[in-house]
Amino acid sequence: MDEKRISDIAVYTIKLIDQTISPEEFEELNSIISSNAQAARYYNQLMLAVSDFQESAKEIILEETGAETVLNEEFWQLLSVDEKTAPAVEIEKPVPERVPVKMLKIERQPKIVRKSPLYTAVLSIAAMLLMVLIVQLKPVLPTVASLTDSINAEWSDVKNTPMNGDVLRQGRWNLTKGLAEITFDDGAVVVIEAPAVFDLESPKSMYLDSGKINAFVSRYAIGFTVNTPSASIVDLGTEFGVDVQFDGTCDMQMFSGKANLVIGQEGQEKTSQLVNVKEARNVDGRTGHVRNIAMQKKRFVRRIDSVTGLIWKGQDLSLVDMVGGGNGFGTGKQNQLIDMFDGVLSGPGHNQFYSGYSERKGPYGITPVAHPFIDCVFVPDAERNRQVSTLGHAFLECPDTLGSFQENIFVGPESPEMGIRKHLLYLNNVQWGAHGRPALSVHTNAGITFDLSMIRRANPDMKITAFKSLYGISDNATWGNSRKTVADMWVLVDGEIRDKAIGHHPQSKPKTINVELKDEDHFLTLVTTDSDGVTNEDWCLFANPVLVTE
């Protein structure tokens, strides 16, 4: 910047502080600052210097000026010399009084810390009255989305707390506690973590003022936009998380697909960049600067399910996935089983000994499984086998059973085993084992033990806090005819019963299992027993069984 420009900014800034700046001069100042970052910096420096000087003026000036009280002519002579190189000075004439801009002196202190309790109370009451007035005068806004699920959700507006299934209107929402899943009318599903303040803008857009959200956007809802104070994310058929801090800084990360990240405030020139899967960006709330950051898998709640209590941040370990041969994070396969006799995981077509539709006796004792996280499988029976782990943990309360089983433990919509009677799995008319609803089928009499120690060892940064699952007997199993299906279910930790469902039948309400797990717990065992000496159609299933992690 040249000296003339610096001088102009300084004059305008001093006039601005004095509240004597004309609209034209302010426009000129605005124009200089908007086109020149250096000018903006100089303006800030000057404002700060004046503020500092005002604060310390007495102390600094009075110790310096002493008796020198008259402005002398020599000074003006010197200034006149200086002014020769400066822009022309206006012809001396009476200066009309500027119409002052209605501002108060900069010395004034902000109101907030002076508030007496009474003032605070008065202010609060006034604010409440205003709120009442605003509510009364508020027009009926269009609905743009629905609250499709929530877990322990609390909203700032207690009189207008939405329930699951409620439609949501355009406008501002403040989720103070819990989690909410909002499905926009155009199809995007957004999980919001409290505390979050956001505006529902339209069926295809929202403004996230602060807080964390995860947006799942199907290909039918492409174009869904999350606006934030510092950036906008325009979805291109993806899943992404957005975290807006109170200073407007925005972090976003792509879980799948891609999105356009648009940077720039309203009325400003905008830039955009494509963010691809497994990439993350930080947009500085102050400068708008964008930088790449590392993905944090546990940062966002991506799915919630109030029925199962599922809060999925990407890290919970799926037991179904393990039985499918995976590591618990989705690397396993569907339609897999564990052979009760040899512990081998195998896929469709498996038919080792079975000729179909009959009880299979034994094995009498545990069968170690060829998977690092699965310790063993077994047929439970009070007489023949109470052992539930390779370290000898025993299920002492194990009931007397037939000591035989029909189906190997499997994952998927139906058993992949040849010769087996095919059946799908339903709980409350919802199909499990398919369509993103994982299920572990444990037809009586069977047990499976997961090695928590091995799982922890493979995931040292995680703390396993609980085992969660929904349990029931498939709706389509026989009930109410001549032959009744009934079974017992047991959840054991190191052989100790932690949960159970006795005499469960297909019409029983599915049981929600939530077993707390401690660091010292070694084995988690799931067992089903025949209850009535019959295993036919004991189609027991664990729906979405997961190890909850922190």
Partner 1 sequence: MNMNHEKPEYKLYIRLLSANQRRIYGFIYAMVPNHSVAEDIMQETTLLMWEHFSKFQEGTNFSAWGISIARNMIRQYFRKKGRKGLVFDSQALENLIGQSDIFESEDDKIDALRHCFKKLRGNEKKLLEMRYIQGDSVRKIAENVNRTTSHLYRVIAKIHNLLLKCIKKQLIS
Q: Which of residues 28-57 bind partner 1 (CB under 8 A)?
A: 30-31, 33-37, 39-41, 43-57
Two structure tokens written together for 101: 């801009």
Q: Give the Cβ contact number of residue 271 at 10 Å.
A: 12
CB of 166 to partner 1, least distance (A): 26
Two structure tokens written together for 524: 């988690």
Question: Is the distance from CB of 251 to CB of 281 less than 8 angstroms?
Answer: yes
Question: Is the distance from CB of 239 to CB of 220 less than 8 angstroms?
Answer: no
20 contributes a contact to partner 1 by CB under 8 A: yes
DSSP code per residue over 5-61: HHHHHHHHHHHHHHT---HHHHHHHHHHHHH-HHHHHHHHHHHHHHHHHHHHHHHHH
CB of 129 to partner 1, least distance (A): 17
Question: Is the distance from CB of 46 to CB of 9 less than 8 angstroms?
Answer: yes
Q: Near partner 1 by CB under 8 A, which window of 262-270, 316-324, 424-432, 530-538?
A: 262-270
CB of 448 to partner 1, least distance (A): 44
Considering only residues 77 through 116, tell me which ones interact with partner 1, judged by CB under 8 A.
78-79, 82-83, 86, 89-90, 92-93, 95, 97, 101-106, 108-113
266 contributes a contact to partner 1 by CB under 8 A: yes
CB of 176 to partner 1, least distance (A): 10
Cβ distance to partner 1 smaller for residue 138 or 483: 138
Give residue for tokens 């994952």: 411
Applying CB under 8 A, the site for partner 1 has a residue count of 94
Instruction: Tell me, residue by residue from 221 to 250, as one string, x for binding to partner 1 by CB under 8 A and - for no binding.
Output: --------x----------------xxx--
Cβ distance to partner 1 smaller for residue 68 or 461: 68
Question: Is the distance from CB of 407 to CB of 368 less than 8 angstroms?
Answer: no
CB of 223 to partner 1, least distance (A): 22
Give the span between the Cα atoms of 523 and 521, in whole angstroms.
Answer: 6
CB of 17 to partner 1, least distance (A): 8
Instruction: Tell me, residue by residue from 111 to 150, as one string, x for binding to partner 1 by CB under 8 A and - for no binding.
Output: xxx---x--x------------------------------
Considering only residues 187 through 216, tell me which ones interact with partner 1, judged by CB under 8 A.
209-210
CB of 246 to partner 1, least distance (A): 5
CB of 294 to partner 1, least distance (A): 22
13 contributes a contact to partner 1 by CB under 8 A: yes
List the 487-493 sheet strands across, edge first.
367-371, 374-378, 446-451, 523-529, 487-493, 496-504
Cβ distance to partner 1 smaller for residue 117 or 392: 117
Cβ distance to partner 1 smaller for residue 1 or 434: 1
Burial grade of 130 (CB within 10 A; 0-12, 13-18, 19 or more)? exposed
517 contributes a contact to partner 1 by CB under 8 A: no
CB of 160 to partner 1, least distance (A): 20
Cβ distance to partner 1 smaller for residue 17 or 277: 17
Going by C-alpha positions, the residue among 537, 500, 309 that lies closest to residue 415 is 537
Burial grade of 439 (CB within 10 A; 0-12, 13-18, 19 or more)? buried
- Diameter over CA atoms, the chain: 119
Question: Is the distance from CB of 546 to CB of 481 less than 8 angstroms?
Answer: no
Cβ distance to partner 1 smaller for residue 3 or 400: 3
Rg of the Cα trace of the chain? Answer: 35
Cβ distance to partner 1 smaller for residue 34 or 428: 34
Cβ distance to partner 1 smaller for residue 193 or 488: 193
Give the span between the Cα atoms of 233 and 283, in whole angstroms.
Answer: 11
Instruction: Tell me, residue by residue from 281 to 300, as one string, x for binding to partner 1 by CB under 8 A and - for no binding.
Output: ----xxxx------------
Give residue for tokens 């602060």: 210
